[in-house]
Copies of this chain bind each other. A is one copy, B any other.
């Protein structure tokens, strides 16, 4: 029972050791937390979720774990302006939509392929290796509320 978590754990273990890192209970819990509820929590939010099952963990450790997960590519940092960094376990290339009313963050699929495909008029000579797309507006839930 609970094959999903076992499989997830195997991926984590493999990926960590590929980066010369050890699998620890803390990393596992932090990773599980991100995978279980994929709503782009801040480090602080992750901290309070993890504390529920591991009350002795410290915020510094959560930051450390998140950093390692980002380093080994299992987790992405998501930033909007200078607000707290959020963490995202969706590895597919995607952008983010921020609802200015409820503050929720939604993943938005990007057209696969190179950034050039976005139709950007990139002058000669720029080599792009990362693309970051952020949208701001009103999400469907808030939009609906407003109409009524």
Contact = CB atoms under 8 A, between A and B. Distances in A.
**How big is the A interface, by class?**
35 or more
Contacts of A109: 120-121
Interface string A112-148: 0001011111111111111111111111100110000
Contact of A128 (B77, B85, B137): B137
Contacts of A20: none
Contact of A97 (B126, B135, B136, B143): B126
Contacts of A95: 120
Contact of A120 (B77, B133, B144): B133
Contacts of A79: 79, 81-82
A126 B139 contact: yes
Nearest to A142: B127
A118 B121 contact: no
Given A126-B137, A126-B138, 13 more contacts: A77-B81, A81-B85, A82-B85, A108-B120, A118-B118, A118-B119, A120-B133, A120-B135, A127-B137, A127-B143, A129-B136, A132-B133, A132-B136
